[in-house]
Amino acid sequence: MLQNLEGKAVPRVVFKTRQDHEWIDVDSDEIFKGKTVVVFSLPGAFTPTCSSTHVPRYNQLTPVLKRHGVDEVICMSVNDAFVMNQWQHEQHADRIRFLPDGNGDFSLGMGMLVNKADLGFGDRSWRYSMLVRDGVIEKMFIEPDLPGDPFEVSDADTMLHYLAPEAELPLDVTVFSRDGCPFCVSAKGLLRDAGIEFDELVLNRDFNETTIRAVSGKSTVPQVFVNGELIGGSEEVEAWLGHSKAA
């Protein structure tokens, strides 16, 4: 039976971390004492849902969470320090702290250690998230006790909505560009000057002309998309930014 430990202290354990080629023991108190911390724990590094959705969205929303009082966001899994460090590097998730619960001690203390021997995983953490203030668990979002790997409530958006229901979400912006394109440079510069983060996809590296035509019906670059809507090239971006400021 999965336990909800709201109102109780987090387990006191020592995490075996690897920093700059050295083993560093990190005590729970170093992480939680006197701080407001969001933790999301998941079944395993490099697994599909964890890599495609859980980690990226928390990494994207970490600045928003911090603006609403969170000191640190932690990703935890029953994996060793080498695996967690490599996974963080592969995910480009530099806003999140990755903690290895290699022996499952923290997950066991949380009542979240489950057996996944049917997958060859051994003992792993159940998927959940929690808000911890000064070492005491204020809120837990525990995935339903169903077969498989449910992912319904431990996501970053649910945590942010609990913490700050009126918080403004960051825009989802993608720029399709080409190396050596001055208009692409201009569009990216406009977005940066406006403080808008974006993902960049480069022609003949990340996509080809067939892909961009399938997406927008055009093969020109740059093409800037905001929340799924095609804004256009650099001139259209400038106009869109001007309209946004006026509004």
98 φ/ψ angles, rounded to the nearest 5 degrees: -95, 120
Angle between helices 81-91 and 55-67 (to 10 degrees): 80
Specify the pLDDT at position 148: 87
With beta carbons less than 8 A apart as the criterion, state whether 231 and 237 touch. yes
Q: What percentage of the chain reaches a pLDDT higher than 70?
A: 98
Q: Which residues of the chain have pLDDT under 50?
A: none
Residue 174 burial (CB < 10 Å; 0-12/13-18/19+)? middle
Q: Give the CA diameter of the chain.
A: 59
**Over the stretch 13-26, which tens digit does the pLDDT of each residue have?**
999 999 999 999 99
Q: Is 50 annotated as catalytic?
A: yes
The SS3 of residue 90 is helix
Specify the pLDDT at position 190: 97
Which among 50, 75, 181, 184 is annotated as catalytic? 50
Residue 121 burial (CB < 10 Å; 0-12/13-18/19+)? middle
Instruction: Report all structural domains of the chain as residue ranges with CATH numbers, in order of start.
Output: 14-163 (3.40.30.10), 173-246 (3.40.30.10)
